[in-house]
Amino acid sequence: MMKTDGNISFLSVKRRGIFEIIRRTSDTARHSAVVLMSDKKTTEKMSEMKEIIFALGSNR
């Protein structure tokens, strides 16, 4: 089992790990994505991650 901390790198996490992380944190992550949408620069940088979060979060 892999340990998860605040510095999760989605590029290095296996697909199964991504689904597990998203399942556990999708509500918090989606809330953070919504909050970050007010910051234009952050939104541009996070757009891909937000799409992944929303897509995986909605598949539950």
Tens of pLDDT along 16-46?
666 666 666 666 666 666 555 556 666 666 6
Structure tokens at 42: 């952050």
Q: What is the distance in angstroms between the CA of the first residue and the CA of the last residue of the chain?
A: 22
Torsion over CA: 23, 8, 14, 35 (sign): positive
Using only C-alpha atoms, what is the Rg of the chain? Answer: 12
Kindly report whether the global pTM for this prediction surpasses the value 0.85: no
From CA 56, how far away is CA 23, in angstroms rounded?
Answer: 8
